[in-house]
Amino acid sequence: MRRLLAESSAAIRSDRVRLASGHDGVVVARDQHRRGSTLWTTVFVLAVISAPLAAWKFLPDFLHREAAPNVLTAEVTIGPFLNRVLEQGEIESSSSIEVRCEVRSRNASGTSILEIVPEGTRVKAGDFLVKLDDSALQTELIQQQITCSGSEALAIEAEAAFRSAELTLNEYEEGTFREQQETLESALVVADENQRRAEEYLAYSQKLAERGYVSQVQLDADRFAVKKALIELGVATTKLEVLKKFSKLKMLTLLKADIQTDRAKLDARQKTWQLDKQRLKEIEGQIAKCIIHATAAGQVVYANDANRGKTTGELLIAEGMPVRERQILIRLPDPTRMRVMAKVHESRISLVRKGLTAEVTTDALPDQPLTGIVAVVSEYPIPSGNIYTSHIKEYAVEIEIHNPPEELRPGMSAQVDVLVEKQDSQLQIPIDAAIARGDKFFVAIPHEDGTFETREIKVGSANDAIITIREGL
């Protein structure tokens, strides 16, 4: 322990500083060759307080050595205490209209920009913004018009076949079948009459044959005529029954099947035609979307990705550059509603809360300090796109700017000073003078005789440089 104190004191070269009068002084050890470093401070204070209380007896001997007069001290002061969070951010509009590419990409490279209004131009609703290449769409439009005409012709043909099949069914039921039925019924009547007459001739011939007036040959002929008439009557009867029971049913089945087939063909071809017409309408709509107009007034800001632009030096939005569907081309921010999007490190995000006031300065307008209020504090860290910085956790904080000037532009770099705590009158010391031991804090108070007193203190709020004292001093 003594050797460590001796080596530490030999390395420390500092001055004794009095910050104010009327208060006890506290020891602050600093390496004057390394401003802001706490290496020797840590060695000194750990040597003083890390040992049991008995180790403090070595302190007087140490301070009476040659290096003792070089120990840096500071006065305890009373004054205002401020705790601020300083971060970098970027200006953007809190109310911004995004103009996107709504043209579907026909290839992997996307659709090229042929013409675009200059960035910074102030536009009103209906003004021209962007013209995209529609040459491929124009060719596709002609091809689709041909396809649509062909599908329309097929649909008309299918409809004619369907109507014809329906007429054929009605024709058969109301015309052809009745005609066939009446023909067979007429033949049946004739056959029945022929059979009746044949039987009468036979009966008359038999009477004449008994008297010897008709030969046997003539009698046999009359008998054959009766048999023939009976057969013809049977055939006529059968034909009529077949027509009613079988032929009609078969023909109706075939005709109805033809109707169903033609109806299905008509439905398919009509749907094909509708799809072709819908596709034609989509192509016409895509061609119309190649010309983009402003939907509201605003100032044109190209949607160039800042990170990618810094990495590759290549603009994403420019004449001749390809764009994909749903890609943002232009933003039309509302200049009366501006904000700063800042990134706060996880070690300080707990200090920032909604409603805190903030001061905003920009590199472009350094002489115009702005004021704002914390509007949104994200609950989740910002995803890191770089594997080398994925361990750094930052949270998005949105600061609404009060009365933004007309010169303020989206994309400007900004510095944000968020006031997280303000106390008018507080007892305070430099944060390097407070020595932490577990959950307790101590200070070393020098006396006029060169000795030091170790005293426990109760601390309050702190910032990067100052810590407030609640009890002990």
Radius of gyration of the chain from Cα atoms?
Answer: 53
The reported pLDDT for the residue numbered 70 is 62
CATH of the domain at 310: 2.40.50
Q: Output the pLDDT for position 211.
A: 84
On whether the CB atoms of residues 199 and 227 are closer than 8 A, the answer is no
Pair (252, 386) in one structural domain = no
User: Averaged over 336-360, what is the pLDDT?
Assistant: 92
Nearest to 85 by CA among 464, 432, 469, 379: 464
- Measure the CA–CA gap between 460 and 462, rounded to whole angstroms: 7
Residues 354-408 have pLDDT tens digits of 999 999 999 889 889 999 999 999 999 988 767 777 788 999 999 999 999 988 8
The CATH code of the domain that includes 88 is: 2.40.30.170
pLDDT higher than threshold 60 for residue 208: yes
Structural tokens at position 340: 């700063």
Q: What pairing do the DSSP bridges indicate for beta strands 291-293 and 128-132?
A: antiparallel
Interval 21-33: pLDDT, tens: 234 455 544 333 3
pLDDT in tens, 263-317: 999 999 999 999 999 999 999 999 999 999 999 888 898 988 654 444 444 568 9
Is 415 in the same domain as 282?
no
Quick check: is 428 in a domain?
no
Whole domain around residue 32: which residue ranges?
Answer: 2-75+434-471
pTM of the model: 0.56
User: Residues with Cβ < 8 Å from 326, sequence gap 6 or more?
Assistant: 100, 101, 102
Q: Do residues 151 and 220 both lie within one domain?
A: yes
Give pLDDT tens digits for 213-249.
Answer: 888 888 889 889 999 999 999 999 999 999 999 999 9
Give the separation between CA 91 and CA 368, rounded to whole angstroms: 14
Q: Is residue 203 part of a domain?
A: yes
Write down which residue in 220, 255, 289 finishes a domain. Answer: 289
Assigned domain for 239 exists: yes
pLDDT at 463: 85
Looking at the fold, whether 178 and 272 belong to one and the same domain comes out as yes
54 has a pLDDT exceeding 70: no
Kindly state whether residues 146 and 284 are assigned to the same domain.
yes
pLDDT of residue 433: 86
Q: Which residue has the higher pLDDT, 312 or 410?
A: 410
Looking at the structure of the chain, the number of domains it has is 4
Task: Tell me, yes or no, whether 347 lies in a domain.
Answer: yes
What per-residue confidence (pLDDT) applies to 69? 52
Average pLDDT of the residues in 432-436: 87
Q: Read off the tokens for 171.
A: 């024709």
Instruction: Please spell the DSSP secondary structure of 17-55, one letter per residue.
Output: ----SSS-EEE----TTSTT--HHHHHHHHHHHSS-GGG
Q: What sections of 172-247 are H helices per DSSP? A: 177-211, 216-242
Indicate if the pLDDT at residue 435 is higher than 90: no
